Each structure stands twice: as structure tokens, then as C-alpha cells.
């Protein structure tokens, strides 16, 4: 339960966006107390219909993905192609502090909704945009999803696969959530500046730019072509054989991380029951291991040892030796992970008597407490109340509804 004042109470955010990345930004701001009003077409955000891809039932009332990205928001469905619909949008901006969008640059320019077109009319507005590939360059207008702009173009699929194998499987949302939180950080900085100076700002990031930053350490290291293994690699040939996932007797994998081989080697090899190798100068320090070309041999030695015990046995041993490690968990195991529950990663939502576990955003505030978790709005659920708030009469709203400038979804099955 929320126990304190929310830091963004009184802030109004207009979200003109679809899918995940920009919606993540809006969701974070909504959790912090901002009034986030999502603009949708009559058909609705395509994200409402992705359930079959994710292995869920397609249900407008029980849509866990929609909740994750759009909980705590309000929604108005406007026909932005109707001049009166667009004018209603501009009236919303008059009282707004932030506009979030993920429309492509050319589409924004055609609609007169790009930053240059709006900044004179709304000088205090924080204009936040996320794109697939960035605002500039030859590919700025390509469609961008995290599968393509983040995982593929950003270096994940080519470098993080085992050499000789196909790229890893990817899932929706992983790159988008990174981008959305990056954009939120920029929005908060710009909001502070607008409060201090009275001047708005444009904040931008993209799936591609975020992936490049995430890969920064290895992208920079790739300049030193004469040193180390070129990715993709077979993990047996890694520069540090101790940073690997080990198959246990019960066919589970335990990932270990020992960034400095020389600091951890003796402790790790002893934990594995091969203390006879702890002082072996063929394998230690790492300079000798690499000079002798024995990295693959050390990998095989470790893998052989891990095959002798079950995962739970190894977890106990590695914990006793203070070796950073983690069992490779399934999503089903994550749902029951006590560490996740203790740190408030999850929320239980009731869907007509059925309880589902939903994921919270990963930032905590001590004094504010955990934010409430309201379901994401139905298409146009708040259309009427939002227009009333900005001065539209009942008669005008009815006119808008009649000519489909404004839309409120109704369940045809009822």
C-alpha cells in the first residue's frame, strides 16, 4: 500500500504511443503519481492483441501484458485525422507537462506534431520521443522493434551465440523496457529543468542507441583486434573460462561470474574439489593459462566436476566459498522465487475471481511506498471525463461520439 506523497503528483503526461518502450516510460511516471493520459485510435494499441504470441488467451478484460505497460493510466480514444480531434489533442497539451511519443519522425512531421512544430506553442513542454534507430541517419524512418533494432542491429544476436550455432531466442519487451526506463530518466531531468527555468526540452533515445550503450564495454574492446577471442566464440575458448554456465548432474545450469580470474581461481578450483590444481602454474595466473593455451582444458575440468553433483549441492558449496553464482531459472520458477517476492517484484491482481501474478517496475521508493496497481484502461475508457476536464460540453462530446471523433469501447458480447 502507498503510504506517502507521490513525487509526480500534479504532473500531467500525454502519451501518444503504441507497443512497449514509450508505454514503459508512461507507466513509470504514472506509478510516481503523474496523471498519464494515453491517446489511442478506435481500434486500440496493437499491444492489446499480442496474447497469442506470448502464449496467453486473447481477452480484453484479462490482459497481463497491457496491465504491465499501461497500469495506472487513463485512456482517451481520439480520431487525430479529424481536425476537431487534433484540436482536442492540442487542448490536452495546453495543460500538459510531458508528451511521450514513439511515432516515426516522418509521421510526426506530416501531422505537425514534431518538436519544432510544437515548441513555440507549448514552450514549457517536455517532449519525449523514442524510436527504433534514432532521429538521424539513413535508417531513421525504418520500423523498429526490439527483435530487430535492439537485439539484431545492436549486436546481441551475432555476438552472444555459441560459434557455429543459430542466434539465441529473443522475447518481446526486453529491449523495450531498457529504452523506456532510459527515456524516463531523461524526462525526469527535463522536468526538473522546466520547473527551474520555465523552458521545455526534447528528450530522445532509441532501441538501437540503448543497445549500443548496453554493449559498450565489448564494443570498445572490439577495437583491439589483436587481443583476445573474436566473438561469437565457443564458450570453451573464452578469455576467462570461469565465467560460464555449468551443467550439473541433474541437468540444470549454474552460471558463475569471476571477473578477475587471478582473485578467484584458487578458491573456485578448491570449491570444485580440485585443490590439487590451485598452485599449478600451468593454469595460474591467467597470463600463464592464456600463454599455454589451456583455457579450454580448464573449462573441461570445471564442467567435469559440476557433472558430479546436483544443482542444490553446488549452490550450497558455492555459497560457502562466496562464489558469485545463480541457477538458470525458468519463468515458472521466477514466479515462485522468494527473493522476488521479498523485494516486491510482483503484485497479485484479481480477474473476476482468478488471481494472476503481475510484475512491478523495478524502482522502489521508501517514503512513498509501493504504488497501487490499477488495471490498464479499456479503449477510450476515460474519453468523456478527460474532455470534460478540458472544457468540452456534454453536447459537444455527444457530437464527437456520434461522428466518431471520440470513441469509447463497448463489449459487443454483453
User: Which of 361, 25, 13 shows the shortest CA–CA distance to 183?
Assistant: 25
SS3 77: strand
The angle that helices 207-214 and 174-197 make with each other, rounded to 10 degrees, is: 100
Cβ-contact 96, 398 below 8 angstroms: no
Note the pTM of the prediction, 2 decimals. Answer: 0.94
All structural domains of the chain, each given as residue ranges with its CATH number in brackets, are 12-214+340-407 (3.40.50.10540), 253-327 (no CATH)
User: Which of 153, 179, 156, 180 shows the shortest CA–CA distance to 169?
Assistant: 156
pLDDT for 228? 82
Cβ-contact 25, 183 below 8 angstroms: yes
Grid cell listed for 256: 558463475
In this predicted structure, the answer to whether residue 154 has a pLDDT above a threshold of 80 is yes
What b/e string do you get for 43-65 counting C-beta neighbours within 10 Å, with b at 16 or more?
Answer: ebbebbebbeeeeeeeeeebbbb
pLDDT for 109? 94
Please give the positions annotated as active site: 176
Note the pLDDT tens digit of each residue in 62-112.
Answer: 999 999 999 999 999 999 999 999 999 999 999 999 999 999 999 999 999
How much of the chain, in percent, has pLDDT values that exceed 70? 99
Residue 3's pLDDT band (boundaries 50, 70, 90)? low
CA distance 60 to 46: 12
Span 11-16, average pLDDT: 98
Span 128-136, average pLDDT: 96
Estimate to the nearest angstrom the gap between the alpha carbon of 16 and the chain centroid: 18
SS3 268: helix
Plot region of 269 (φ>0 → left; ψ -120 to 50 → alpha; else → beta): alpha
In this predicted structure, the answer to whether residue 280 has a pLDDT above a threshold of 70 is yes
Note the pLDDT tens digit of each residue in 190-239.
Answer: 999 999 999 999 999 999 999 999 999 999 999 999 988 899 999 999 99
In this predicted structure, the answer to whether residue 369 has a pLDDT above a threshold of 60 is yes
Cβ-contact 289, 302 below 8 angstroms: no
Cβ-contact 37, 12 below 8 angstroms: yes
CA distance 238 to 306: 18
User: Which of 356, 384, 361 shows the shortest CA–CA distance to 372?
Assistant: 361
Q: Where are the beta strands (DSSP E) in 27-144?
A: 35-40, 74-78, 98-101, 126-131
In this predicted structure, the answer to whether residue 414 has a pLDDT above a threshold of 90 is no
pLDDT for 28? 98
Q: Where are the beta strands (DSSP E) in 175-302?
A: 201-206, 245-247, 253-256
In this predicted structure, the answer to whether residue 59 has a pLDDT above a threshold of 90 is yes
Span 41-49, average pLDDT: 96
In this predicted structure, the answer to whether residue 248 has a pLDDT above a threshold of 70 is yes
Catalogue the long-range contacts made by 33-36 (C-beta closer than 8 Å, 24 or more residues apart): 33/5, 33/6, 33/7, 33/8, 33/9, 33/371, 34/8, 34/9, 34/97, 34/98, 35/11, 35/74, 36/72, 36/73, 36/74
pLDDT for 64? 98
pLDDT for 4? 72
Span 50-66, average pLDDT: 96
Cβ-contact 191, 126 below 8 angstroms: yes
Span 395-410, average pLDDT: 97
Per the prediction, the chain carries an average pLDDT of 96
Amino acid at each position: 500500500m502507498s503510504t506517502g506523497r507521490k513525487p509526480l503528483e500534479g504532473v500531467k503526461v500525454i502519451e501518444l504511443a503504441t507497443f512497449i518502450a514509450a508505454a514503459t516510460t508512461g507507466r513509470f511516471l504514472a506509478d510516481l503519481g503523474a496523471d498519464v493520459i494515453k491517446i489511442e485510435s478506435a481500434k486500440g494499441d496493437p499491444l492489446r492483441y499480442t496474447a497469442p504470441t506470448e502464449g496467453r488467451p486473447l481477452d480484453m478484460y484479462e490482459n497481463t501484458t497491457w496491465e504491465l505497460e499501461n497500469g495506472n493510466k487513463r485512456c482517451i480514444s481520439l480520431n487525430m485525422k479529424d481536425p476537431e480531434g487534433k484540436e482536442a489533442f492540442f487542448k490536452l497539451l495546453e495543460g500538459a507537462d510531458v508528451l511521450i511519443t514513439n511515432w516515426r519522425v516522418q509521421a510526426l512531421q506530416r501531422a505537425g506534431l514534431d518538436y519544432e512544430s510544437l515548441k513555440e506553442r507549448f514552450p514549457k513542454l517536455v517532449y519525449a520521443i523514442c524510436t527504433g534507430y534514432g532521429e538521424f541517419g539513413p535508417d531513421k524512418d525504418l520500423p523498429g522493434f526490439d527483435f530487430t533494432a535492439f537485439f539484431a542491429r545492436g549486436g546481441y544476436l551475432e555476438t552472444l551465440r555459441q560459434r557455429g550455432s543459430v542466434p539465441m531466442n529473443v522475447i518481446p519487451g526486453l529491449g523495450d523496457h531498457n529504452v523506456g526506463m532510459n527515456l524516463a530518466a531523461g524526462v525526469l531531468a527535463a522536468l526538473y529543468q522546466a520547473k527551474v527555468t520555465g523552458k521545455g526540452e526534447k528528450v530522445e533515445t532509441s532501441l538501437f542507441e540503448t543497445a549500443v550503450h548496453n554493449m559498450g564495454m565489448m564494443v570498445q574492446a572490439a577495437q583491439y583486434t589483436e587481443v583476445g577471442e573474436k566473438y561469437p566464440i565457443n564458450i570453451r575458448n573464452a578469455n576467462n573460462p570461469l565465467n560460464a554456465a555449468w551443467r550439473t548432474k541433474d541437468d540444470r545450469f549454474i552460471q558463475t561470474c569471476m571477473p578477475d580470474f587471478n582473485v578467484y581461481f584458487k578458491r573456485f578450483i578448491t570449491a570444485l574439489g580440485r585443490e590439487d590444481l590451485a598452485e599449478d602454474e600451468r593454469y595460474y595466473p591467467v597470463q600463464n593459462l592464456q600463454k599455454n593455451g589451456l583455457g579450454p582444458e580448464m573449462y573441461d575440468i570445471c564442467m567435469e566436476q559440476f557433472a558430479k553433483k546436483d544443482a542444490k549441492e553446488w549452490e550450497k558449496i558455492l555459497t560457502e566459498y562466496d562464489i558469485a553464482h545463480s541457477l538458470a531459472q525458468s519463468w515458472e520458477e521466477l514466479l515462485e522465487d522468494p527473493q522476488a517476492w521479498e523485494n516486491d517484484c510482483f503484485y497479485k491482481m484479481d480477474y473476476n475471481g482468478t488471481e494472476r501474478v503481475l510484475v512491478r517496475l523495478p524502482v522502489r521508493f521508501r517514503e512513498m511506498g509501493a504504488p497501487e496497481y490499477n488495471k490498464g484502461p479499456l479503449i477510450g475508457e476515460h474519453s468523456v471525463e478527460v474532455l470534460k476536464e478540458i472544457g468540452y460540453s456534454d453536447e459537444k462530446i455527444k457530437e464527437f461520439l456520434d461522428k466518431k471523433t471520440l470513441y469509447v469501447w463497448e463489449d459487443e458480447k454483453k
